[in-house]
């Protein structure tokens, strides 16, 4: 029984349970959508069709509500010719379905579908189990996003963080400022590492999600029990928007969407009331598109060089009697946060955008792994935190830096005092896309590390992890999704040279080598 993520309790019994054509299935009405999905998956797997019955008694497969089970948890009991699935809510039942999918190896082309008799009890360790996707540096549209969401749901991840605005592109329809979807959504080239060198090419990159596409995607994710958290990164990482509306920068002189990666000194002016209104107007339109209560305001990597030399920013600082430009950022974030609060949203910021005077209401997404002590301190003081330490959770890094084992080794609660562990909402992996230019590369970076993310998020025991990942790879084979076939091997030699090649010679180096693996 090789399941990702490994359920908390599995007991095996003698004998086997076989699903045959015309077997009966019963479901309480609350779980009928999941039971129907189960029947559909069986049909898709090998043509087996189930017969729904109104009475529990004669049914061979039974989905029932059991209010004693904690929310999002589930129990599966398969014995003596029956399969009973219970949970207290639809989410828990949906997770049971994902386990059944693997238990019966529905991606493996079997006839008949069968599994060992067993008892499974399972529950997620963390409520927040996320994956961040950057569609700014390179644009990935609905088809790719839906595939990512499908993979997430299979391993029971439940939050997709969509990075919608950055220096290199603005990627969501905004009606009030049309230039955000012309000027800001296109750049004329990119920094690339290929053919043995790093340079800026002349290939345009453009695109954005329309409001209609977002509505479709929200509905799609809703069926998979995935919430979407939009991010509009500000005041830094905002060059694309400023290229369209340079009057909202400090200098008024931001002329083009950025082609280089890294950090720009040009950030949104915090002294200009119209710039603040610009920010509020954008987040208003974005907030209306996403029903989930969390909204990401970025806040990372915002150098204060421009603010230090800006008349309006200096004036704001003195009017507010602030001690530093960092405090000005905390003030700025708070203004936008209070506005978002009126729209029913809570705000997340990257940890380097959170200062002493930042509202305690702001959730921290901790990405600077070397500042782990700061994360522990913040969590111990009650700040809600999402753990994304870069060397464990940045899946844009090559496997030579962030191996499958490295991802799996994260313990987000380590060092956090027991009474404060509830402040750690969960974990999130990131897929920054500077060097992810194609869908193949995206899935190569994601798979199978997504399996490890899921095990950390779900709190699975480590035992048998590699064997389970190898087994789960058949899903990627079946779906035709590119994955790192060598990720399960411990790479002892050559990591430094691969990393150097990735950085200096060809950012697709690992993907290219992967193509040679049979």
Give whole-number Cα distances, 476 to 109, 443, 471, in Å: 14, 9, 10
The footprint of ligand ACM on this chain (CB under 6 A) covers a number of residues equal to 4
Token pair listed for 516: 């040679």
Cβ-based nearer residue to Zn ion, 266 or 506: 266
Considering only 134, 166, 266, 300, the residue that binds ligand ACM (CB under 6 A) is: 300
**Which one-letter DSSP state was computed for residue 87?**
E
What's the CA gap between 466 and 484, in Å, rounded? 13
Cβ-based nearer residue to ligand ACM, 132 or 472: 132
Establish if 301 lies at the interface with ligand ACM (CB under 6 A).
yes
Establish if 150 lies at the interface with ligand ACM (CB under 6 A).
no
What's the CA gap between 184 and 172, in Å, rounded? 10
Smallest separation (angstroms) from Zn ion to the CB of 163: 24
Cβ-based nearer residue to ligand ACM, 65 or 263: 263
Smallest separation (angstroms) from Zn ion to the CB of 263: 17
CB count in 10 Å sphere of residue 295? 23
**Site string (317-356) toward ligand ACM, x via CB under 6 A:** ---------------------------------x------
**Site string (355-374) toward ligand ACM, x via CB under 6 A:** ------------x-------
Cβ-based nearer residue to ligand ACM, 134 or 451: 134
Establish if 439 lies at the interface with ligand ACM (CB under 6 A).
no
Long-range contact pairs involving 384-387 (C-beta distance under 8 Å, separation at least 24): 384/423, 384/425, 385/423, 385/424, 385/425, 386/128, 386/130, 386/348, 386/424, 386/425, 386/426, 386/427, 386/428, 387/412, 387/424, 387/426, 387/427, 387/428
The site partner of 327 among ligand ACM, Zn ion, none (C-beta below 5 to 8 Å per kind) is none
Smallest separation (angstroms) from ligand ACM to the CB of 301: 5
Could you say which residues in the range 249-268 bind Zn ion, by CB under 5 A? 250
Please report, to the nearest 10 degrees, the dihedral formed by the alpha carbons of residues 35, 36, 37, 43 taken in order: 110
The site partner of 300 among ligand ACM, Zn ion, none (C-beta below 5 to 8 Å per kind) is ligand ACM
What's the CA gap between 26 and 64, in Å, rounded? 8
Establish if 396 lies at the interface with ligand ACM (CB under 6 A).
no
Give whole-number Cα distances, 35 to 24, 39, 120, 123, 299, in Å: 11, 6, 18, 19, 43
The footprint of Zn ion on this chain (CB under 5 A) covers a number of residues equal to 6
**Which one-letter DSSP state was computed for residue 70?**
P
The site partner of 313 among Zn ion, ligand ACM, none (C-beta below 5 to 8 Å per kind) is Zn ion
Cβ-based nearer residue to ligand ACM, 4 or 297: 297
Q: List Cβ neighbours of 357 (8 Å cut-off, separation of 6 or more).
A: 327, 330, 331
Q: Which residues bind ligand ACM (CB under 6 A)?
A: 300-301, 350, 367
């Amino acid at each position: 029984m090789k399941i990702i993520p490994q359920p908390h309790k599995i007991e095996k019994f003698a004998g086997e349970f076989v699903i045959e054509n015309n077997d009966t299935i019963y479901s309480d009405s609350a779980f009928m959508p999941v039971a129907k999905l189960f029947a559909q998956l069986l049909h898709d797997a090998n043509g087996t069709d189930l017969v729904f019955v109104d009475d529990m008694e004669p049914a061979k497969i039974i989905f029932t509500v059991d209010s004693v089970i904690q929310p999002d948890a589930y129990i599966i009991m398969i014995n003596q010719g029956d399969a009973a699935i219970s949970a207290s809510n639809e989410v828990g039942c949906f997770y049971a379905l994902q386990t059944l999918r693997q238990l019966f190896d529905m991606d493996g082309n079997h006839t008949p579908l069968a599994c060992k008799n067993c008892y499974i009890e399972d529950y997620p360790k963390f409520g927040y189990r996320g994956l961040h996707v950057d569609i700014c540096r390179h644009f990935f549209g609905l088809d790719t996003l839906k595939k990512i969401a499908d993979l997430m749901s299979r391993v029971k991840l439940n939050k997709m963080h969509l990075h919608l605005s950055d220096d290199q592109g603005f990627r969501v329809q905004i009606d009030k400022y049309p230039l955000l979807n012309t000027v800001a959504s296109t750049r004329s080239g990119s920094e690339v590492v290929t053919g043995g060198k790093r340079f800026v090419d002349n290939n345009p990159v453009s695109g954005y999600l329309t409001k209609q596409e977002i509505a479709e995607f929200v509905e799609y994710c809703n069926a998979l029990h995935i919430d979407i958290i939009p991010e509009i990164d500000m005041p830094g990482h905002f060059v694309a928007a400023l290229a369209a509306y340079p009057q909202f920068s400090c200098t008024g002189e931001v002329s083009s969407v950025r082609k280089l990666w890294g950090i720009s000194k040009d950030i949104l002016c915090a002294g200009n009331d119209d710039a603040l209104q610009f920010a509020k107007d954008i987040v208003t339109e974005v907030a209306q598109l996403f029903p989930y209560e969390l909204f990401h305001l970025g806040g990372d990597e915002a150098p204060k060089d421009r603010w230090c030399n800006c008349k309006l920013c200096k004036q704001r600082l003195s009017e507010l009697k602030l001690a530093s430009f960092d405090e000005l950022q905390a003030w700025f974030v708070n203004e936008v946060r209070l506005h978002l609060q009126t729209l029913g949203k809570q705000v997340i910021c990257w940890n380097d955008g959170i200062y002493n005077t930042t509202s305690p209401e702001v959730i921290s997404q901790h990405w600077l792994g070397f500042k782990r002590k700061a994360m522990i301190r913040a969590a111990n003081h009650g700040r809600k935190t999402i753990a994304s330490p870069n060397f464990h959770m940045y899946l844009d890094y090559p496997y030579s830096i962030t191996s499958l084992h490295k991802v799996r080794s994260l313990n987000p609660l380590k060092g956090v005092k027991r009474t404060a562990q509830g402040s750690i909402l969960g974990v999130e992996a990131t897929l920054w896309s500077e060097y992810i230019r194609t869908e193949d590369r995206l899935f190569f970076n994601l798979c199978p590390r997504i399996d490890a993310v899921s095990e950390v998020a779900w709190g699975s025991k480590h035992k048998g992890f590699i064997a389970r990942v190898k087994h789960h790879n058949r899903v990627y084979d079946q779906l035709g999704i590119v994955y790192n076939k060598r990720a399960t091997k411990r790479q002892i030699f050559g990591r430094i040279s691969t990393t150097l090649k990735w950085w200096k010679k060809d950012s697709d180096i690992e993907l290219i080598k992967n193509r040679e693996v049979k």
